[in-house]
Structure 1
């Protein structure tokens, strides 16, 4: 593996973690939003990652990177809360809250943030190694 591949690998990981951080932020921002219908309720979103494969050989490349296949919505049922005084309440006095677990989302945010930071350090260390390699000939 070339040192130049490391930039592509850590770059793909940073992009994936950025997507994860954005979906986590969206989930936390909408954690307490209410709606009057179960179909209109915000649902937690989570990115789906995949390792990059070598299609010509049908196997996973060592250190080839990661890609985001998409973002899926959670199928868990939204929370129902009885609040007849809420203007968003339905005919039975219920409001519907998202299926977002804030504690889980905070753990996801810390994890994705740390993963992003580690990949930045990897890219910086690789840059330093390349600079030192180039200065060997002087």
Structure 2
């Protein structure tokens, strides 16, 4: 971090990047959960494919530190789940229906991790503000 920069602004900027990244991750997890039971619309058609978030580190030149960013949103290439349901409109010739490759337990774990990371970034911002406030109070009482 650069010497003359405002510490609160630096912490807020870095924590804000973390908040933004985890917020994006939560949106993707929510989409996955919402589409977990989806099927293709026609026989043999592919259903919703699970999305993932790829994070990357980026130098924040203003702060002089590495910051997190969403590098990409990609799709999970795990195989679709096949379910035998010959009566379903999306059933193939063998009576199998492709279901989304979304595992709800995995999504719930991802959601919990994203929530914890989001909360940690919020706490970092709160603590930085508290420390600045305490420093100002100490300077006032010392005068």
TM range (shorter): 0.7 to 0.9
- 2:23 maps to what in 1? 18
The corresponding residue for 2:59 is 53
Where do 5+ consecutive residues of structure 1 fail to align?
A: 56-60
Q: 1: distance between equivalents of 2:27 and 2:44?
A: 24
Partner of 1:125: 127
Report the 3-state secondary structure (helix = DSSP H, G, I; strand = E; otherwise coil) of the residue aligned with 1:65: strand
Counterpart for residue 48 of structure 2? 42
Could you tell me which residue of structure 1 aligns to residue 33 of structure 2?
28
Match of 2:11 among 6, 19, 23: 6
The alpha-carbon deviation at position 7 of structure 1 amounts to: 0.5
Instruction: Give the C-alpha shift of residue 123 in structure 1.
Output: 0.5
The number of residues matched between the two structures is 132
Structure of higher CA gyration radius: 2
Distance 1:120 1:38, change over 3 A: farther
The unaligned stretches of length 5 or more in structure 2 are 2-6
Distance in 2, Cα, partners of 1:85 & 1:54: 55
CA RMSD of the aligned region, Å? 1.9
Contact in 1 for aligned 2:44/2:90 (Cα 8 Å)? no
Cα gap change, 1:123 to 1:102, in 2 (>3 Å): same
Shift of 1:39: 5.0
Taking structure 1 as the reference length, the TM-score comes to 0.85
